[in-house]
Structure 1
Amino acid sequence: MTPTATESFAPWRDRSEASRNRWTVTATRPVSYDVALCDGILDPANPALLRAVPRGVPPTARRLLVIDSEVHRHYGRSFTDYFERHSIPSATCVLDCDETTKHWGNVRTVLQALDRFGIDRRNEPIVAAGGGVLLDVVGFAGSLYRRGTPVVRVPTTLIGLVDAGIGVKTGVNFDEHKNRIGTYHAADRVVLDPAFLRTVDRRHLSNGLAEILKMALIGDRRLFDLLDWHGAGLLAAKFQRDGRHREAATEVLERSIGGMLDELQPNLWESSLERVVDYGHSFSPTLEMRALPELLHGEAVSIDMALSTLLAEARGLVTATERSRVLRLMRALELPISHPLCTSELLISALGDTTRHRGGRQRLPLPVGIGAARFVDDVDERELEVAGESLAELAKNG
């Protein structure tokens, strides 16, 4: 008999006797999100933020704005005015966010704000406005609340624009380990506006330049040359696209963001543990957590990259001239290349921890010249000791 429209069909009724106590469930959930680089998103005439809602949701849907306290000081009124001009009901949750507060307590604060707001998890997005720490905290909370609430990311720091704001990973620190708990939760939209960088201090701009330099060293020689030629000027101009460095700022941002997305897209859930974008992130997590609050994330990454460059030089993958050029550019971008905590004991411990989280293999990306990389699995303690000592000597002698 053919089932009618009101009847359900239960295929399990026709399963053989041998297969009635075993099941295999297979499902695929596609992920698609837009990343847009634009200017002046808080201008009420600019529709970018208005349209930053999940597909099929009206632009005037309610928003919960979760915003970093420093960003709120500069732009809180502008966000509120924008929402009011477009008749968007909203509420605001202000967070103090830096690496020392990147923990469960701030995630809980966001979850409580979501509950008070009574957010509709299918139709009302969270707008997360801040740096990488805030974006991680809010993304993690969004992934947990009702098993997934839409998030619109508005990165306001350079590291947020080119790295932390455009992937799908979320995470917070736990038990003195960096990003030890987290999820994969794609934003519904990512809106990138370099205008926010006008109020970012010089050190935090330099911090973001470390992640741009990472992309250059592992896969984009042209990007490295741009940083070599224009990096100091871009730092001084705060990456604004309205002055003499306009074209360089645009190309550096586009190449950094595009290169990162090209690397992330085929491996969003990190099923492959060989990720070239892990360059600079093998020793830095341990160093960063030990040095808190002294070192920023990008500064720890810079030290990691400098060390990896020396490891590569010792193996003949990088020439002395290339190594000198890399370290000289790091200094020009006002990034550190060493730190007193960077002892052989710390480096050995850091590599051990990284190896545990890369499936029992080092999978250590090392540069090959400038603009390419390869993975190695056999770095030993003596190599680390020699590289660390050489790096400290180079840092001391300038």
Structure 2
Amino acid sequence: MTVQPNSTPQTVRPRLHTTAEPPHHTWQVSTSKAVTYEVMLSPGLLAPSNPTLATAGVTEEARPGRRLLVVDATVHALYGARIGAYFAHQGVEHEVHVVDAHESVKSMETVFEIVDAMDSFGISRRREPVIAIGGGVLTDLVGLAASLYRRSTPYARVPTTLIGMVDAGIGAKTGVNFRQHKNRLGTYHPSAVTLVDREFLATLGPRHLSNGLAEILKMAMVKDLVLFEQLAAHGPRLVDERMQSAGSADGGRGAEDVVGRAIHSMLEELQPNLWEHELRRLVDFGHSFSPAIEMAALPELLHGEAVCIDMAFSAVIAHQRGLLDRSDLERIVRVMNSLILPTWHPVCTPELMARGLADTVKHRDGKQLLPLPDGIGHARFVDDVSRTELDEALAMLLDLSGGADALAMASGNRGA
């Protein structure tokens, strides 16, 4: 898929308003900013002879240059030595700033910490992109810091979690939490390039792999039936194999196809509406109730787990409206269960779900614009879900999920 930026000439058109009073002038400035960025499947990023990471986001004349690397603490513990050896082999002067990035510290304080590292390093404004290596929280933090530092500093993303590879690390948005609100502060500042290397998933725990598969399931349920069928048939195996090629039953072809389809589907939805001028967005499926669920359950639930509960709840609403038959609803829940994803949590009270939808209405400019599955692989938007519907859907979801028993079973199987 090719991302084609809008490109219209920059114009400044003075207009003279003539009245009986002394004339005055107004100027109307109309411009557009061409945005181009890349998402690349890039195996073997840390192979010493592979120049891809060392040259990411810079022109030929700016190579090799200097780099500030902002690295997640867990990633640094696992790959720090290899990362340092790689940049040394490539002849790139570099410094590493380690951030213990997780949802509880996804705040402006951590952004300022990263900005301080950027300032101390003395990065060039255009020729030395910051490189963010970590999960979605880390790349969001670095993206926001880069958007603020000198009003726009380039950066490159190397997502090391599945959710980062297919969702958090490939769009234009950055964000941090504010008070009890998920991603309430943020900007639109895409990285110059996102480099996706599935080899990082080899050290990811099964729970975090399932967490990423929730965002893939999101696109499958409302856009891509083939992707849904792949998850239904192979999802548990992909988790067991850590999405790797070596030692997999099919040489990694299934994992590559699932990741590739998920990225393609996501970018296909994001590209024509990158700045979200249109608030009717398929990618908002699973993100209407989940911000309230995730923040209320923090730190117990991961992002994708909260999204999965939202998707299950939305599927029940769709079923009650006749958009999804019972067999498809039960199949969806079975796939969620097979991926060891929760479909309910004790914080999901009628009051929380209603409050979550009310906050989403504010976020969507006064409308619900709630995406619901219309069969598997398709969706429609509704704007008239009542409190009664929410209460009835929650009661049905609790029954469908087996309530606390299902939660306990999922929690016990998720692992670290």
Instruction: Tell me the TM-score normalised to structure 2 length.
Output: 0.91
Please state if 1:90 is matched with 2:104: no
Are residues 101 and 21 of structure 1, via their aligned partners in 2, closer, same or farther at CA, if it must alter by over 3 Å? same
Q: How far is the alpha carbon of 1:50 from its aligned partner?
A: 2.3
Confirm or deny that 1:224 pairs with 2:228.
Answer: yes
Q: Deviations over 1:208-248 (max 9, x none)?
A: 01000001001000000000110000000010123214111
Aligned partners of 2:185, 2:207: CA distance in 1, in Å? Answer: 28
Q: What's 2:280 paired with?
A: 274
Hey, what's the Cα distance between the residues in 1 that align with 2:175 and 2:122? 24
- 1:364 paired residue number: 370
8 Å CA contact 1:54, 1:150 repeated in 2 = no
| Counterparts of residues 73-152 of structure 1 (less than 5 Å) | 73-152=77-156
* Residue 340 (str. 1) matches residue 346 (str. 2): yes
Secondary structure of the structure 1 residue equivalent to 2:194? strand
Q: Does the aligned pair in 1 maintain the 2:15–2:25 contact within 8 Å?
A: no
**Which among 160, 181, 188 is matched to residue 184 of structure 1?**
188
Q: What residue ranges of structure 1 are gaps of 5+ in the alignment? A: 1-10
1:78-98 per-residue CA deviation (whole Å, 9 max, x = no partner) reads 111111111111111000011
Alpha-carbon spacing, 1:157–1:75, altered in 2? closer, same or farther (3 Å): same
CA distance in 2, matches of 1:165, 1:16: 46
* 1:93-116: CA deviation from partner (whole Å, max 9, x where unpaired): 000011111111110110000010
Q: 1:388 aligns with which of 386, 394, 397?
A: 394
What is the identity, as a one-letter code, of the residue corresponding to 2:299? P
The question of 1:301 aligning with 2:307 is answered yes
Paired with 1:257 and 1:16, the residues of 2 have a C-alpha distance of 49
- Code of the residue aligned with 1:205 in structure 2: it is L
- Measure how far apart 1:39 and its partner are: 1.0
Residues 236-276 of structure 1 deviation map (CA, whole Å, 9 limit, x = unaligned): 00101232141111110110001101110000000000000
Change (3 A) 1:57 1:262: farther
Structure 2 unaligned blocks of 5 or more: 1-11, 407-416
Residues 284 and 17 (structure 1 numbering): CA distance in 2 closer, same or farther, change over 3 Å?
Answer: closer
Q: CA deviation at 1:45?
A: 1.6
Q: Which whole-Å CA distance do the structure 2 matches of 1:213 and 1:322 have between them? A: 14
Cross-structure match for 2:258: 252
Matches of 2:98 and 2:157, distance apart in 1: 15
Q: Is contact 1:132-1:165 (8 Å) kept?
A: yes
Does residue 327 of the first structure (1) align with residue 333 of the second (2)? Answer: yes
Change (3 A) 1:17 1:133: closer
CA distance in 2, matches of 1:354, 1:101: 23
Structure 2 counterpart of 1:4 = none
Residue pair 2:16, 2:25 contacting (<8 A) in 1 also: no
CA distance in 2, matches of 1:269, 1:59: 31
Offset at residue 354 of structure 1 (A): 0.1
Aligned partner of 1:7 in structure 2 is none
Equivalent residue for 2:318, pick from 312, 319, 323:
312
Alignment partner of 1:31 out of 30, 35, 38: 35
SS at match of 1:270: coil
- Aligned counterparts of 1:188 and 1:69: Cα–Cα separation in 2: 23
Shift of 1:21: 2.0
| 2:70 aligned partner | 66
Instruction: Give the SS at the match of 2:44.
Output: coil
Report the 3-state secondary structure (helix = DSSP H, G, I; strand = E; otherwise coil) of the residue aligned with 2:30: coil
Q: Give me the CA root mean square deviation.
A: 1.4
Instruction: Tell me the equivalent position of 2:3.
Output: none
Alignment pair present for 1:160 and 2:164: yes
Q: Which residue of 2 aligns with 1:50?
A: 54
Give a deviation string over 1:42-84, Cα, whole Å, max 9, x none: 0012222122123455230211000000000011111111111
CA offset digits 1:292-342 (Å, max 9, x no partner): 000100000000000000000001100100000000000000000001110
Tell whether 2:199 aligns with 1:204. no
How many residues were matched structurally? 387
- What SS class does the counterpart of residue 24 from structure 1 fall into? strand
Q: Kindly indicate whether the alpha-carbon contact (under 8 Å) linking 1:57 and 1:123 is maintained by their aligned counterparts in 2.
A: no
Post-superposition offset of 1:16: 4.9
Give the C-alpha shift of residue 15 in structure 1. 7.0
Conserved in 1, the CA contact under 8 Å of 2:143 and 2:174? Answer: yes
Q: CA deviation at 1:17?
A: 6.7
Structure 1 residues 369, 57: CA separation in 2 closer, same or farther (over 3 Å shift)?
A: farther
Pair 321,149 (structure 1): closer, same or farther in 2 beyond 3 Å:
same
Partners of 1:269 and 1:368 lie apart in 2 by: 26
Give the one of 286, 290, 294 matched to 2:292: 286
What residue number does 1:6 align with? none
SS in 2 for 1:45: coil
* Cα distance in 1, alignment partners of residues 354 and 180 from structure 2: 17
